[in-house]
Structure 1
Amino acid sequence: MEAGSLFALLVAAGLYMLVYLVLRARSGVAGTWLELQGGVVVLKTRRLNRLVEDVGKKYKRLMGLVGDLGVVTGIALGAYGVFFLHDNLFKLLTASPGASPVSPLVPGVTVGLNELAYFLLAVAVTLIPHELSHAFQAAAEGVRIKSMGVFLAFLVPGGFAEIDEDELDSKPLRSKLRVLAAGSFANIATFLLLVALFYLVLFTPLAPRPNGVLVSGVIQGSPAFQRLQPGDVIVAVNGTPTPTLEGFSKVMERSAPGRLIKLTVMRGSVLVNYSLVLAQHPESPGRGFIGVKIDQSYSNEWLYRAFWWMLVVTSSVAIINMLPIVPLDGGKLLSYLLQAVAPGRASKVAVWACSAYMLIVLLASMATSAGVFGLAPLTP
């Protein structure tokens, strides 16, 4: 973890504990706009209840059609999530190609300080449609809305739409499923909208374009050490423009140890020239070596990063939320389905057994992923 990210994490943890202790010391906290529930700080409001209920009831028929589509979509998302976790865990355990990292998004740990603003934007774009969709669908099905809000659980943000669970339990199965699937359906709809917007942006001047080779790290003792630094963008080698990784690699393939090269580097908004004597490449004798870790740099990279985080978070929440794990919506949906088919203790045991099994698979995926990929902050 970078020093800046570690410092930010410690500061955030300190502020979190301060709020926690203040709320714990207060008497009669329950019922206020700011609450402490276990170790979770909760910010909630009832001011939106009337508006949400009016809209839900006014468009009840439309919400019914959307709700049915949401149920089908939600079940498909849950099934895909189960398949993906098993398939990916197998790839991780067998070191097969194509394995993907499975990691919780924790600010300061897997979300670096430089990505925090994009992450928070993605959280907002994910939570607002998710919780509003739950609330609108509940109102359309005649279920009372108690409150809506956000929470912070050990630095991990989240949101909620608090509905009357007793009223939901008394509704027909179809209504229950509509309400539970509404959040993930809103997320996958948001995901598809973002994909469409991103492709539209590609045809505008704002489209991110390759504009150089980003230096993401410098190897100690290499020719680049104490010359280049993370964040630099190499835009030319010996006067030859290198806007892409491929172009940069082709230039370096023609280099040799001991040769003097000139790098044109963009540092912030300033162009800087460096002359370096190449070392021998540790993995390819006869080839020159600068000693940097590189990534592709883009113009308008902020836009690319914003879209990347929004797409990752919205799609991840849509799928994970529909996994058959109680208390996720997917677990509750499975519970209602099994109770309708086989009421009684057997269905409850089946739900908890399924939840325990899938939770083990999820945790095993995270642990194995951490061993394979580490817990380095995620980057686009």
Structure 2
Amino acid sequence: MNIGIPIAVMAMAFMVYTIIMSLQYMFEAPAAALLLPGVDIPGSPVFIPLVSGIIALILLMVVHEFGHGILARVDGVRIKSIGVILLAILPGAFVELEEEDVEKAKRSVKLRIYAAGSIFNMALAVIALVIVMVISSFFIPYAFEYEGIKITSVTSGGPAEGVLQEGMIVSSINGYPVNTKDEYTDLVLNKTKPGDKLTYVTDQGTYTITSTGQLSNESITYPGFRSETYFVVKPEVSRIYGDILPWFLYNVADIGQWVYALNLMVGLFNLLPIKPLDGGIIFEELLGYKLPEKFVTKIVSSVSIVLVGIVAFIIIYSIVPGIIQMVPGIIQMI
């Protein structure tokens, strides 16, 4: 964690730069994601599957909070309580340190404890990435073959709603065969435009929809559903290993990619110099080395207000149009 402190500070600077620079691209191609498993917002670049997302969130929160707790105990700071909670289906974790011990601790000790959560998240992200790369590079090409794309969800209010359904296997679009998600993405982006008729040949029949433009970029075709490559276990692999082991490792890789993505994104976001995020507390401690407390408080408060405003603008400008598009479908379900 002595090494983790400068890593956390560099990550903080990187995140501030990224957030500020993102304003430059917001009006051209707004893109922000709501990190809620199972919630598919039209126009959002990310959709987190429910089961994989919840498992990734559990690992994220437990590793983050226990990271704070472990470093606290290493540095002699007592813990009042530590544990995990469940709010509806969303997991959570918490650690409560003995305030008297924290106040007495050296700044270096505080920095190690405050940085530990995000550093533990980033370490878990690296471990998950290695696992995913090994399985995806060696085992999946050996064990599986590709037979089209599978529709994983149909976006509410999109062109495909009421026509295509979740679970359909698509083998061709407008006469062009598609075997993988990459082939499908290349076909949609390079050979179609908003307003085109798209004819899908599926395992349940042939269907035609009229595409629209993406919420974030009206010039890019938007069919209104999400998909993934449809894998089938190779017969020779099935004879040797059966179907359970190949699909188990495939699901490990799928969960691993969300463990990687969420731990990296949340770990970095948490290092923004915004109180009460860990990054804000670290920023405050660093300023306290050289500046009087009254100046530190003003600087941290001002930076926090500016960055919260930028983040709020990005979220509202990017996500609210998609949420509004979901309203008719939600009302219909109710």
Q: TM-score, normalized by length of structure 2?
A: 0.70
Determine which of 261, 273, 284 is the counterpart of 1:335.
284
For the Cα contact (< 8 Å) 2:37–2:54, is it kept in 1?
no
Determine which of 100, 104, 109 is the counterpart of 2:31.
100
Cα deviation for residue 370 of structure 1 reads 1.2
> In 2, distance between residues paired with 1:342 and 1:282?
55
Q: Tell me whether 1:297 sits opposite 2:233 in the alignment.
A: no
Change in 2 beyond 3 A, CA 1:218/1:123:
closer
Give the secondary structure class of the aligned counterpart of 1:341: coil
Specify the alignment match of 2:256 in structure 1. 307
> In 1, distance between residues paired with 2:19 and 2:102?
30
For the Cα contact (< 8 Å) 1:106–1:155, is it kept in 2?
no
> In 1, distance between residues paired with 2:154 and 2:89?
28
Specify the alignment match of 2:102 in structure 1. 168
Give the secondary structure class of the aligned counterpart of 2:137: coil
Specify the alignment match of 2:115 in structure 1. 181
> In 1, distance between residues paired with 2:16 and 2:169?
41
Cα deviation for residue 211 of structure 1 reads 3.0
Structure 1, unpaired ranges of 5+: 1-66, 254-260, 266-271, 284-290
For the Cα contact (< 8 Å) 2:36–2:48, is it kept in 1?
no
Give the secondary structure class of the aligned counterpart of 2:49: helix
Determine which of 165, 180, 187 is the counterpart of 1:229.
165
Structure 2, unpaired ranges of 5+: 192-198, 214-222, 232-246, 327-334
Determine which of 242, 265, 271 is the counterpart of 2:178.
242
Q: Deviations over 1:247-291 (max 9, x none)?
A: 6649xx7xxxxxxx99451xxxxxx5x367x799999xxxxxxx8
Aligned length in residues? 284
Change in 2 beyond 3 A, CA 1:375/1:200:
farther
Give the secondary structure class of the aligned counterpart of 2:292: coil
Cα deviation for residue 344 of structure 1 reads 2.5
CA RMSD of aligned residues (A): 4.1
Change in 2 beyond 3 A, CA 1:123/1:228:
closer
Counterpart of 1:361 in structure 2: which amino acid?
I
Q: Tell me whether 1:137 sits opposite 2:71 in the alignment.
A: yes
For the Cα contact (< 8 Å) 1:326–1:355, is it kept in 2?
yes
Give the share of equivalent positions with the same residue, in percent.
Answer: 22
> In 1, distance between residues paired with 2:209 and 2:119?
54
Specify the alignment match of 2:316 in structure 1. 367
Counterpart of 2:275 in structure 1: which amino acid?
V
For the Cα contact (< 8 Å) 1:103–1:369, is it kept in 2?
no
Cα deviation for residue 236 of structure 1 reads 5.7
Cα deviation for residue 246 of structure 1 reads 6.4
Q: Deviations over 1:71-108 (max 9, x none)?
A: 1111122112211211223311x21x5x5314353765
> In 2, distance between residues paired with 1:376 and 1:219?
7
Change in 2 beyond 3 A, CA 1:229/1:343:
same
Cα deviation for residue 311 of structure 1 reads 2.0
> In 2, distance between residues paired with 1:209 and 1:89?
42
Give the secondary structure class of the aligned counterpart of 2:288: helix
> In 2, distance between residues paired with 1:338 and 1:232?
56
Specify the alignment match of 2:269 in structure 1. 320
For the Cα contact (< 8 Å) 1:181–1:329, is it kept in 2?
yes
